[in-house]
Amino acid sequence: MTAVQHRTTRVPLETGGTTVTESRRSKATRFTLAGLRLALGWVFLWAFIDKLFGLGLATPDKGAWINGGSPTKGFLGKAVAGPFEGVYHSIAGAAWADWLFMLGLAGIGIALIAGIGMRLAAVAGGLLLVLMWTAVLPPENNPFMDDHLIYAGVLAVLALTAAGDTLGLGKMWARLPLVQRLPWLK
């Protein structure tokens, strides 16, 4: 059996020049989680941009929110025959639902990309994703699992691991007096 050596580097801490060692694996994990955070942030932000302007990928120009289209009508109006079909059909296209949905997409996307408010973004994003999952019950290709639930799980991991601190503004955000008083804003 051979021993595996982990290469370590000295990383200065924020308090008084003390150093700790960080393994390659730990550093790779931090950067992988930061990459996932940025990618998932872009998924949310792109959905907002596409629905706002109708860039022709998922949302045609005529369906753009700025052209009078409804960001919720397409998805919720086509909710498959599941247990929540009636609920979603009744709110599809409602102005309040459109505003909440779009503000949620933009806020979650910006928070994830910036690495700030990770706990709040994870809760809001997880809730949004689970609600979207309930709109497609049962999923097309699996009895219960689909990408909405996977993304919700990834959001939880990102918040639990402070993924906003690497390649993001998470450390600076955490030092703000408001965030220190209200840690759920981390």
The DSSP line for 130-184 is HHHHHHTPSPSSSSS--HHHHHHHHHHHHHHTTGGGSSSSHHHHHTSHHHHH-GG
For residue 77, the model assigns a pLDDT of 78
Q: Which residues of the chain have pLDDT under 50?
A: 1-2, 4
Nearest to 170 by CA among 46, 10, 37, 23: 37
37/111 Cα distance (integer angstroms): 10
Domain residue ranges in the chain: 31-185
pTM across the whole model: 0.87
For residue 60, the model assigns a pLDDT of 92
For residue 4, the model assigns a pLDDT of 46
